[in-house]
Amino acid sequence: MGRVFLDLLDKAEKKGVKLVFGLEAQGHIPTIEAIISRYNSRGNTDPFSNEDSVDMIYSRYVWEEIGKAIGWDPLAAALHYFQYLDEKRSHETSSK
């Protein structure tokens, strides 16, 4: 990390300000999952598929709403959320 950034962290710590990074650390996972669940509960169907519904976790529009709700870039939020899911599944698999 750059010296300027480390100095900023030191100043924040001295003033009692806690800086957290990441979806999980910032408490955004429940918000993301609620928005995805809301879209999935609408019964979205894909006219080009035989499947009953589409998982809206893959929809650009859902991530645009999520980005606005949590103050993140939509693509960054999606990438970090998929990484979170991958780590969560990996942990669940290894603990069995």
pLDDT, tens only, 14-72: 998 877 789 999 999 999 999 999 999 887 655 565 566 778 999 999 999 999 999 99
Residue 83 pLDDT class (50, 70, 90 cuts): very high
Structure tokens at 92: 């669940």
Do 40 and 84 form a contact (C-beta atoms < 8 A)? no
SS3 80: helix
Can you give the pLDDT at residue 46? 58
Q: pTM for the full model?
A: 0.72
